Amino acid sequence: MTSTATRALVTPEAPSRRLRGTRRAHEGSRAEAVTAWTFLAPFLVLFALFTGIPAVFALSASLTDMTARDIRDPFGVNFTGFEAFFKIIGNPGFQSAFLNTVMFVVLCVPLSMGLGFALALMLNSAIRRLRTFFRAAAYVPVITNIVAAAVIWQYAFSITGPVNNSLGALGLPQPNWLGDPGWAITTVVMMGVWRTAGTCMILFLAGLQAVPEEIYEAASTDGAGRWRTLWSITLPLLRPTTLLVTVLQTVSFLNIFEEPYLLTKGGPLGSTKSIALWVYEQFGFGNISASMAGSVLLLLLVGIVAIVQFRMLRPKH
Amino acid sequence: MKTLSPTRQALAYAALAVITVFMLLPFVWVLFGSFKTQSEFLHSPGAWFPESFQIQNYVQLFAERGFGNYMLNSIIVSAVAVVGNVIFSAMAGYALAKLRFRGRGFVFPLVIVSMIVPYVALFVPQFIVVVQMGLVNTLTAIVMPVLVLPLSVFIMRQFAHSVPFELMEAARLDGSGEVRLFFRIFLPLTGPGLATVAILSFLSSWNNFLWPLVVAQSQATYTAPVGLSVASQASNTVSFGLLLAGAMVVLLPILILFLFLQKYFIQGVAATGLK
Q: Which residues of A touch B169 (CB under 8 A)?
A: 25-26
A170 in contact with B, Cβ within 8 Å: no
Q: Reply yes or no on whether the pLDDT at A231 is more than 80.
A: yes
Task: With CB atoms and an 8 Å threshold, state whether A147 touches B225.
Answer: yes
Give the Cα separation of A169 and A162 in Å (integer): 10
B50: nearest CA in chain A? A162
Q: Model confidence at A43, in pLDDT bands (50, 70, 90)?
A: very high
Interchain pair B122, A36: CB under 8 A: no
Q: Is the confidence at residue B86, as pLDDT, over 60?
A: yes
Q: Which residue has the higher pLDDT, B238 or A34?
A: A34
B125 — contact with chain A (CB < 8 Å)?
yes
Query: Which of B13, B45, B265 lies nearest to residue A143, judging by beta carbons?
Result: B265
* pLDDT value at A216 more than 60: yes
Q: Would the CB atoms of B161 and A15 count as touching at under 8 Å?
A: yes
Mean pLDDT (whole number) for A6-31:
48
Nearest to A64 by CA among B117, B124, B213, B110: B124
Instruction: Give the one of A28, A137, A142 whose C-beta lies nearest to B275's C-beta.
Output: A142
Across the interface, of B108, B124, B251, the residue whose CB is closest to A144 is B251
Task: Report the range of poorest mean pLDDT among A14-23, A103-112, A243-252, B92-101.
Answer: A14-23
pLDDT at res. A14 = 40
**pLDDT the model gives residue B271:** 65
What's the rounded mean pLDDT across residues A84-107? 93
Residue B254 touches partner A, C-beta closer than 8 Å = yes
Under 8 Å between Cβ of B109 and A41: no
Residues in chain A with CB shorter than 8 Å from the CB of B102 are 33
From the number of C-beta atoms within 10 Å of its C-beta (0-12, 13-18, 19+), residue A37 rates as middle
Cα A173 off chain centre by: 33
Rounded-to-integer distance, Cα A169 and Cα B120, Å = 42
The residues spanned by each domain of chain A are 91-313
Say if residue A126's pLDDT is above 50: yes
Return the residue of B nearest to A27 by Cα.
B100
Q: Is it the case that residue B50 has pLDDT exceeding 80?
A: yes
Q: Does A134 touch chain B (CB under 8 A)?
A: yes
Provide the chain A residues 64-93 that lie in CB contact (below 8 A) with chain B.
71-72, 74
pLDDT band at A125 (very low <50, low <70, confident <90, very high): confident
* pLDDT over 50 (residue A23): no
Closest CB to B129 among A27, A42, A50: A50
pLDDT of residue B3: 66
* CB < 8 Å to B203, chain A: 143
Is any Cβ of chain B less than 8 angstroms from the Cβ of A9? yes
The verdict on B269 touching A (C-beta cutoff 8 Å) is yes
DSSP-derived secondary structure for chain B: -PPPPHHHHHHHHHHHHHHHHHHHHHHHHHHHHTT--HHHHHH-TT-SS-SS---HHHHHHHHTS-HHHHHHHHHHHHHHHHHHHHHHHHHHHHHHHH---TTHHHHHHHHHHHHHS-GGGTHHHHHHHHHHTT-TTSHHHHHGGGSS-HHHHHHHHHHHTTS-HHHHHHHHHTT--HHHHIIIIIHHHTHHHHHHHHHHHHHHHHH--HHHHHH--STTT--HHHHHHHHHHTTTTS-HHHHHHHHHHHHHHHHHHHHHHHHHHHHHHHHHS--
CA distances from A57 to A62, A232, A242, A287, B136 (A): 8, 49, 35, 15, 18
Measured CA to CA, the distance from residue A10 to residue A40 in angstroms comes to: 25
* Per-residue pLDDT at A50: 93
* Residue A161 at interface with chain B, using a CB cutoff of 8 Å: yes
Whether B19 contacts chain A with CB within 8 A: yes
Nearest CA distance, B201 vs chain A (angstrom): 12
- The string of pLDDT tens digits covering residues A130-168 is 888 999 999 999 999 999 999 999 999 998 889 998 999
Instruction: Assign A200 a pLDDT band (cuts: 50, 70, 90).
Output: very high
Ordered by start, the domain boundaries in chain B are 65-272
CA dist., res. B268 & res. A306, Å (int): 22
Q: How far is B22 from chain A (nearest CA, A)?
A: 9
Q: Which of A53, A145, A252 has its CB closest to that of B225?
A: A145
Residues 239-298 of A with CB under 8 A from B: 244-245, 248, 251-252, 254-255, 257-258, 262, 275-276, 279-280, 283, 288, 291-292, 295-296, 298
How buried is residue A23: exposed, middle or buried, by Cβ count under 10 Å (0-12/13-18/19+)?
Answer: middle
DSSP A78: -
pLDDT at residue A4, rounded to an integer: 37
Tell which wins on pLDDT, B22 or A222: B22
**Among A36, A70, A99, CA closest to B131:** A70
Long-range CB pairs of B246-249 (<8 Å, 24+ gap) are B246/A148, B246/A151, B246/B61, B246/B65, B246/B67, B247/A145, B247/A147, B247/A148, B247/A149, B247/A151, B247/A152, B247/B30, B247/B34, B248/A148, B248/B30, B248/B31, B248/B34, B248/B58, B249/B58, B249/B61, B249/B67, B249/B71, B249/B224
Q: Which of residues 90-119 of B touch A (CB under 8 A)?
A: 91-92, 94-97, 99-102, 104, 107-108, 110-114, 116-119
- For residue A28, which residues of chain B lie inside 8 Å, CB to CB? 99-101
Of the candidate CATH numbers 3.30.1300.10, 2.160.20.10, 1.10.3720.10, 3.30.70.980, the domain formed by A91-313 belongs to 1.10.3720.10
Partners of residue B29 in chain A, C-beta under 8 Å: 152, 155-156, 162
| Residue closest to B25 by CA, chosen among A267, A157, A73 | A157
Q: A49 to chain B: which residues are within 8 Å by CB? A: 129, 144-145
Å between A258 CA and nearest CA of chain B = 8
Alpha-carbon distance B145 to nearest alpha carbon in chain A (angstroms): 6
CB-based contacts of B27: which residues, under 8 Å, 6+ apart? A140, B251
**Reported confidence tier of residue A103, pLDDT bands at 50, 70, 90:** very high
The amino acid occupying position B108 is F
pLDDT of residue A65: 83
- Identify from A3, A4, A37, A43 which residue to disrupt to test chain B contact, counting B C-beta atoms within 10 A and taking the largest count: A43
pTM recorded for the entire structure: 0.87
CATH fold for the domain made of B65-272: MetI-like fold (1.10.3720)
**Per-residue pLDDT band at A15 (split at 50, 70, 90):** very low
**Averaged pLDDT of chain B:** 87
Predicted confidence at residue A22, as pLDDT, reads: 43
pLDDT score, position A9: 43
The pLDDT tens digits of the residues spanning A170-184 come to 999 889 999 899 999
Compute CA distances B132 → A256, B15, B135, whole Å: 29, 55, 8
* A254-286 pLDDT, tens digit each: 999 999 999 998 878 889 999 999 999 998 888
